[in-house]
Amino acid sequence: MPSPLMLAQKIDDAVASRFNAYLIGIAGIPGSGKSTIGKELARLRPDAMIISMDGYHLPRSQLGAEQLRRRGTLNTFDFLTFRKDIQQLHENHCGYFPSFDHAEKDPRPDAVHVHADCPLVIVEGLYVLMRTWQCEHRRRSTTS
């Protein structure tokens, strides 16, 4: 298994070969190294910014007991805001994004500011690359 640094270097090499690369998505199961690889990549590219999907967890105050117990599943994320924010980032190359406070166990709105001159944004999280998220979420919420 390659080290996180080796994986980050491979990603950086791939980005360097694409002059217009701006957004990188890193997805995987919990504990798979998404955040670690993202941090290694940001260390290689100090001008990069990281947006973690953890900032899009719904606040605990908005979750029922079952959702709190299963936090991290699709229906415990604010996928509409995530999708809108990433689309706007793609179009505008700037914006404000939430982070996640692990001590409070809740998101912090507008904690990450991506400036227009930022050359690379790394977006990492469980469902970052999920193409059918909206369909899956609707199906689950109508059958729950």
- What CATH code is carried by the domain that includes residue 65? 3.40.50.300
Structural domains in the chain (count): 1
Query: What is the pLDDT at residue 21?
Result: 82
Query: What is the pLDDT at residue 2?
Result: 86
d(CA 86, CA 136): 19
Query: What is the pLDDT at residue 142?
Result: 47
SS3 percent helix, strand, coil of the chain, rounded to 5, is 45, 25, 30
Domain of 69 in residue numbering reads as 4-143
Give 99 or 102, the one with higher predicted confidence: 99
Do the Cβ atoms of 129 and 122 come closer than 8 Å? Answer: no
